[in-house]
Amino acid sequence: MATPYSHDRLGGIEVFVQAAEAGSFALAADRLNLTRSAVGKSIARLEARLGARLFHRTTRQQSLTDAGQAYYDRCVRALAELYDAEAELDSGRRAPRGRLRVSAPLVFGRHCVAPVLRELAAQHPQLQIDISFNDRVVDLIEEGYDLGIRIGPLPDSSSLAARRLGLQTMGIGAAPAYIAAHGRPVTLDEIRQHAGVVYAHGGVEKGWSVMGPDGQVIQLHLPPRLRLDDLQAIADAAIAGAGLAWLPCWMLTHYVRSGELEVLMHGDRMAAQDVHAVWPQARYLPSKTRAAIDALAAQVPAMLAK
């Protein structure tokens, strides 16, 4: 008679798979919301039960043994079937539950994603939402995220599904004091003569996508007075009079209303960017993921239109 798997045994298998895919116990612990010690003990119990060493461990890295690789291949297939079965049952539930890991761009995530998901979590006590704010494009599958928010064109992918949340329009603004001191540029050539507060990530400066005279999108580059990798810091610097800034209109409008910035160019002279929710492709979408996508699709467009 076959011995049924206990919860701990299944849990040990899931921990093992996450540790193998993450490449470290520390990353696996973060994905599973456990301590590194708990992950290590779970792997040790699994190895003791199997009578086989699953990982080569050194002070700098860990890798699967031959036995570990063979066991991992079987575990992945078995867990995929279990996850599909759970998602199929879960897709009919009305109440989202469980842990939802979300990745979102830093400033957009704070202002447009977090309020929506915070409200969703308040409505569903059995739902736990973890949001990571980062302008880096994360690998949702490799890093164990259920949902991601992407701004800009999406590359072709057979492993990800997407839903458009809206269109983010951009604008160029400057502080009233800066305009009084340096003049108000109107044309693209005039704008190019001014100091810019520009976004740069990893040492790479991002140009401003604007519509050229022939209607084609061009990349506008200004002499950078400051290079920053955070939109809020860029807005703060522009408000302080450091130069012109290229900002999302939902953000720029807030500072125009307060009188801290003035709009120099926006609307049909700016290239807009699509905003999408993306998630790992699956036959069945868990209710927790579906609820988050639906909530974002219902509320984000109004935020973008401000």
The CATH number assigned to the domain holding 248 equals 3.40.190.10
pLDDT at 79: 81
Q: Which CA distances in Å does 109 have to 29, 43, 232?
A: 24, 35, 12
Domain match, 133 and 53 both: no
Q: Is residue 5 part of a domain?
A: no
Do 212 and 145 share a structural domain? Answer: no
Q: Is 46 helix (H, G, I), strand (E, B) or coil?
A: helix
Residue with tokens 């990353």: 27
Residues 173 and 261 in one domain: yes
Determine, yes or no, domain membership for 52: yes
Q: How many domains does the chain have?
A: 3
User: What local confidence, expressed as pLDDT, does residue 4 receive?
Assistant: 43
Residue 19 lies inside a defined structural domain of this protein: yes
Q: Strand 244-248 to strand 196-201: parallel, antiparallel, or no bridges (unpaired)?
A: parallel
Strands 127-133 and 262-266: unpaired
Residue 115 lies in a domain: yes
Last residue of a domain, one of 89, 120, 140: 89
Mark whether 257 and 279 lie in a shared domain.
no
Instruction: Output the domain CATH number for residue 18.
Output: 1.10.10.10
Task: Output the pLDDT for position 5.
Answer: 41
Q: Are residues 110 and 237 both part of a single domain?
A: no
Residues spanned by the domain of 106: 98-165+273-305
Among the candidates 38, 69, 89, a domain finishes at 89
Does one domain contain both 85 and 126?
Answer: no
Domain end position, chosen among 34, 55, 89 = 89
Statement to judge: residues 160 and 286 lie in one domain: yes
Predicted confidence at residue 94, as pLDDT, reads: 64
| Ranges of the chain whose pLDDT falls below 50 | 1-7
Pair (229, 190) in one structural domain: yes
Q: Is residue 205 part of a domain?
A: yes
Are 268 and 172 members of one domain?
yes
In a domain, 1, yes or no: no
- 225 with 174, same domain: the answer is yes
Q: Judge if 202 and 228 occupy the same domain.
A: yes
> What was the pLDDT predicted at 289?
93
Q: Judge whether 153 lies within some domain.
A: yes
**Whether residue 239 sits in one domain with residue 104:** no
For residue 6, the model assigns a pLDDT of 44
Burial class of residue 60 (count of CB atoms within 10 Å of its CB; 0-12, 13-18, 19+): exposed
Strands (E), 48-144: 55-57, 62-64, 98-104, 127-133
Is 6 part of a structural domain of the chain? no
What is this structure's pTM?
Answer: 0.71
Q: Which two tokens stand for residue 30?
A: 């973060």
